[in-house]
Amino acid sequence: MNKRIKAFVFDLDGVITDSAELHYQAWSRIASEQGIPFDRDYNELLKGISRMESLEKILERKPDACFTASDKEALAARKNDYYKELIGTIGPQALLAGIETLLKDIVGAGIGIALASASRNAPTIIERLGIGHFFQVIVDPADIPHGKPYPDIYLRAASELRVSPKECVGVEDAEAGVQAIKRAGMFAIGIGSSEVLHEADYIVPDSSFLQLQDILDRIDNQKD
């Protein structure tokens, strides 16, 4: 058994549950109301970044329009209302394949677990999924000045768990998230497209491929 790894730090949206899709749907609604082009490719750029940064990226696509700070606040609040409607139906059945087993195996191996999500809705979703008991730490993104791809949220997770970043594995579905994990000095697992997540140390097409022993063996076999 790998002795080096003391904690796993998880992203939430698109890793633990398919809420990345719900963010996409809510932003699509806002973009279409504003007559702004928006598709899944462009949405990749929004994954992992904050609500306001996401909005700014969408509004960039309508350069001739003028949005005041209060217009932007109103649009971000409306997007969040749409998103909250969508997450209202989430329950334990919405856990992505393999995640519950992975969480149980990690806890069973005496390894810590933290959540490093940029979403202010994360605590609600974790509660709805019924998995709060697995997490020793849920980092509050409101408390982190620099979002992903800066490493700060991952570093905060490690420090709250009282482990060193090099003793951690980070799990992400977003390019900005994988970059944050690598900048924090952790082993990075990317879930999704290898084109988007190429900086990760280990990439899987979906969460059902994640198995604790396999991950620990890969870390052991990694050349330093």
179 binds, among Mg ion, ligand BG6, none (CB under 5 to 8 A by kind): none
Question: Of 139-158, which residues contact ligand BG6 (CB under 6 A)?
Answer: none
Crossing angle, helix 51-59 and helix 69-87, to 10 degrees? 120
| DSSP codes joined into one string, 39-87 | -HHHHHTTTTS-HHHHHHHHHTT-TT----HHHHHHHHHHHHHHHHHHH
54 binds, among Mg ion, ligand BG6, none (CB under 5 to 8 A by kind): ligand BG6
| Start-to-end Cα distance in the chain | 18
**Considering CB under 6 A, how many residues would be counted as binding ligand BG6?**
18
Q: Please identify, using beta-carbon distances, which residue of 7 and 12 lies nearer to Mg ion.
A: 12
Q: Please identify, using beta-carbon distances, which residue of 24 and 202 lies nearer to ligand BG6.
A: 24
How many C-beta neighbours within 10 Å does residue 196 have? Answer: 17
Task: Measure the CA–CA gap between 211 and 209, rounded to whole angstroms.
Answer: 6
Distance in Å, CB of 192 to Mg ion, minimum = 9
Residue 101: in which H helix or E strand, if any?
helix 99-108
Residue 7: in which H helix or E strand, if any?
strand 7-10
Does 119 participate in binding ligand BG6 (rule CB under 6 A)? yes
Does 117 participate in binding ligand BG6 (rule CB under 6 A)? yes
80 binds, among ligand BG6, Mg ion, none (CB under 5 to 8 A by kind): ligand BG6
Determine phi and psi for 183, rounding to 5 degrees.
-65, -25
Does 121 participate in binding ligand BG6 (rule CB under 6 A)? yes
Q: Please identify, using beta-carbon distances, which residue of 144 and 169 lies nearer to ligand BG6.
A: 144
Does 17 participate in binding ligand BG6 (rule CB under 6 A)? no
Interface region with ligand BG6, contact rule CB under 6 A, candidates 44-52, 100-108, 189-197, 204-212: 44-52
The residues, any chain, with a CB within 8 Å of residue 172's CB and separated by 6 or more, are 11, 15, 48, 178, 180, 181, 188, 189, 190, 191, 197, 200
Which residue numbers are catalytic?
11, 13
Query: What does DSSP assign to residue 131?
Result: -
Residue with tokens 């109103």: 74
Q: What is the binding site for Mg ion (CB under 5 A)? A: 11, 13-14, 173-174
Distance in Å, CB of 56 to ligand BG6, minimum = 11
Q: Of 6, 23, 128, 182, which lies in the binding site for ligand BG6, with binding defined by CB under 6 A? A: 23
Distance in Å, CB of 53 to Mg ion, minimum = 14
Cis status, amide bond into 165, omega within 30 of 0? no
Interacting residues toward ligand BG6 by CB under 6 A? 12-13, 20, 23, 46-51, 54, 80, 117-121, 174
